[in-house]
Amino acid sequence: MPPAPEAARPPAAPDDPVERAAIAAALARGATRGRLLEILLEVRDAKGGSGISEPGLRAVADRLGLFPSEAYEVATAFPAVNYATARPYATGERCGDLVCALLHGAGGTGVCRNRCDGERPQPAPRGFAAYRAAGGYAMAGRLMADPAAAAEVLGRIDAHQAVGRAGVGFPVAEKWRQVMAAEGTPVVIVNGDEGELAIFKDRFILENEPHGVIEAALVAARTVGADRVFLYVRDDYAPIHAILRRALEEVAAAGLAEGLALELRRSGGAFICGEETALIASLEGRPARPAERPPFPTARGYLGRPTLLHNVETFYRITAAWGGAPGAPAAALLHPETRLHSVSGRVRAPGPKPVRRLARLADLVEIAGGMAEGHALGGMVIGGSSGTLVTADDCRRPLAELLAAGLRLGTGGAIVLGAADDPRAVAARMAAYLARESCGQCGPCRVGTAKAAQALAGAGALDRPLLDDLATVMGEASLCALGRNAGRFLGRLSTLADPTP
């Protein structure tokens, strides 16, 4: 839908009265470009899941002062918008991604959206009063009364040796200091998009302890001098949206958000939004495409302002630096030696598993209720869509040995495979996921992930020289971590056996 000359444009008014009313209501809540994705999602919701029409998209573009092509770019960049698609983002029962394919076959589409960890009870989050009674919001209140306490907060985080939990492990206090040293008024973003394959740790935290995450964001905002906080959460985490909206209302009613704008935003179903600059682009009303760094978001992020961005787990864990609020199921994570593993696949009781001092990867199977009936341990995928295929024998070795040899746990995902599962088919499905989720902006990732998926899915011997070349090019030349990690994933497939002739 290229930009049309003014004289050639049809009137920007959709025929559907439901859509017209939905657009008017969404724009009334904020007619800014930064809300473009949220506006499109609100219209979709009002239409029962059907995406906005072309006339509706033109109407939104006109109101926001955008070319139609700019609105079209955003509408088509995010699958959750459901614009002009015959395969809606969230209908049906199965997603067909790796775990779903292992358990149910490859044909499903739908709402599990690569979580596939079985039926779960209704969320029972700890409410505002209970959280406060356990000591919550004490530090947030103290910073409101005494801004000079920010130095103490940083000292406590330093002493706690808090690190980011997105897989890189960058020191939290250092990131905060970078934001404080930059020019401009900072912004704080809580990343709850959690688009990684078979990862559901942030969901577990938000379903149980939303106020712990919000308190950490408030403390961060007051420490670095921010005036705005975004909570950016997966679109299909609908129960969590309701939990967070109520929690934010409670915080505002208690006067704890004075001087801060707190806003819940939904992601659009694009895995690339796990990358900081792509996430920021979506909050600005642009397609989710990574930006070259430097400058880093800590210096120039949202609308050019210094931006502090952590994922949900990182924010929640740093409350331990000033005491936290013990008592909820998620509070086990406040211990620095506890790691939260998302266990799925061929186990009896998949789900989030907080574990302290994990000795072997195989122990996760017992923690998850043992192997499913009729299956023996065949190995694991560790670390998500660009993770590592670990053999059954290695799963039984001391974890310390595997880590010393270079294994990365990433965000804690563990997909348990059965002995009858074909490792090459697993690798092919992982590669296909990466190819689907590439934003397409840079050639090494766009072309490399597609070629890797094709090579792994084919019959006959693996083309190892091709895979090695792809691993090198993607690992060294991709713009962002998706492509670079995809290259590392291919590089770790050297032990993958060729199929038997």
For the ranges 89-98, 160-169, 279-288, the maximum mean pLDDT occurs at: 279-288
Half-sphere exposure in the Cβ direction for 403 (13 Å, CA) = 9
pLDDT value at residue 273: 93
Burial class, 316, CB count within 10 angstroms (exposed 0-12 / middle 13-18 / buried 19+): buried
Alpha helices (H) along 405-442: 423-437
Express each pLDDT in 426-455 by its tens digit. 999 999 999 999 999 999 999 999 999 999
**Per-residue pLDDT band at 104 (split at 50, 70, 90):** confident
pLDDT value at residue 12: 63
Mean pLDDT of 237-256: 96
191 membership: H or E segment, kind and range: strand 187-192
**Per-residue pLDDT band at 88 (split at 50, 70, 90):** low
**Per-residue pLDDT band at 94 (split at 50, 70, 90):** low
pLDDT > 90 in the chain, percent: 78
- At 396, is the secondary structure helix, strand, or coil? coil
pLDDT value at residue 122: 87
For residues 413, 418, 419, 422, the Cα torsion angle rounded to the nearest 10 degrees is: -80
Reported for 459-468, long-range contacts at CB under 8 A and 24+ positions apart, including other chains, are 459/499, 460/499, 461/498, 461/499, 462/424, 462/496, 462/498, 464/494, 467/493
Residues 429, 398: Cα–Cα separation, whole Å: 28
pLDDT value at residue 341: 96
Query: Could you count the other beta carbons within 10 Å of the beta carbon of residue 33?
Result: 17
Query: Could you count the other beta carbons within 10 Å of the beta carbon of residue 236?
Result: 19
pLDDT value at residue 492: 85
Longest alpha-carbon distance in the chain: 73
**Per-residue pLDDT band at 496 (split at 50, 70, 90):** low
More confident residue, 161 or 92: 161
Fold of 128-333: Rossmann fold (3.40.50)
Per-residue b or e along 71-89, where b marks 16 or more CB atoms closer than 10 Å to that residue's CB: bbbbbbbbbbbbbeeeebb
Residues 347, 333: Cα–Cα separation, whole Å: 23
Residues 483, 386: Cα–Cα separation, whole Å: 9
Average pLDDT, the chain: 91
Mean pLDDT of 295-313: 97
**Per-residue pLDDT band at 85 (split at 50, 70, 90):** confident
Q: Who's near 215: CB < 8 A, 6+ residues apart? A: 131, 136, 137, 139, 140, 319, 325
pLDDT value at residue 480: 92
In the chain, where the domains are located: 15-81, 128-333, 342-491
pLDDT value at residue 165: 84
Judge whether residue 396 has pLDDT over 60.
yes
pLDDT value at residue 487: 93
Alpha carbon 265 to its chain centroid, in Å, reads 13
CB 488, CB 472: distance < 8 Å: no
Lowest-confidence pick of 356-365, 374-383, 428-437 = 428-437
**Per-residue pLDDT band at 418 (split at 50, 70, 90):** very high
Judge whether residue 45 has pLDDT over 90.
yes
Mean pLDDT of 392-418: 94
Mean pLDDT of 296-303: 98
Residues comprising the chain, all counted: 501
Fold of 342-491: Ubiquitin-like (UB roll) (3.10.20)
Judge whether residue 110 has pLDDT over 50.
no
Mean pLDDT of 323-329: 89
Strands 413-418 and 338-345: parallel
Q: Which residues pair with 343 in a beta bridge?
A: 351, 414
Strands 228-233 and 261-266: parallel
pLDDT > 70 in the chain, percent: 91
Mean pLDDT of 100-128: 74
413-418 β-sheet, strand order: 351-356, 338-345, 413-418, 377-382, 388-391
Is 0.85 surpassed by the pTM of this model?
yes
pLDDT value at residue 119: 74
Residues 431, 384: Cα–Cα separation, whole Å: 11
Q: What tokens appear for 62 in the block?
A: 């006109």
Strands 377-382 and 413-418: antiparallel
Judge whether residue 476 has pLDDT over 80.
yes
379 membership: H or E segment, kind and range: strand 377-382
Judge whether residue 401 has pLDDT over 60.
yes
Mean pLDDT of 263-291: 95
**Per-residue pLDDT band at 106 (split at 50, 70, 90):** low
pLDDT value at residue 3: 52
pLDDT value at residue 354: 95
Express each pLDDT in 198-234 by its tens digit. 899 999 999 999 999 999 999 999 999 999 999 999 9
| Helices and strands counted in the chain (H then E) | 21, 9
